[in-house]
Amino acid sequence: MDPGQSARLRRGAVPLTCLFIPDKAFRGLGLGKRLLEAVIRELRKRGFRALETFARSGDANNPSGPLERG
């Protein structure tokens, strides 16, 4: 996808645009994984069947979302 293009969600999907642990002292402890698992459990309870994520294509190890500068 080219910069500036927007992705389209599938009908009924919930978007997840950013999941980031800002404090470096708490990274690498599995908190992001546990948070994502909790989000998935809650969405399932509410009847959702799809969660779509949008990651920055430049580097899989860097966060995308409101902290990213363009």
Domain positions in the chain are 19-53
The string of pLDDT tens digits covering residues 5-57 is 566 778 888 998 888 888 989 989 999 999 999 999 999 999 999 999 876 66
User: 57 is written with which tokens?
Assistant: 């294509």
Contacts of 60 (CB under 8 A, 6+ apart): none
Q: How far apart are CA 57 and CA 64, in angstroms?
A: 9
Q: In the chain, what is the straight-line distance between the N-terminal and C-terminal CA atoms, in Å? A: 15
Tokens 């990213």 sit at which residue? Answer: 68
Banded pLDDT at 62 (limits 50, 70, 90)? low
φ, ψ dihedrals at 30, nearest 5°: 85, 10
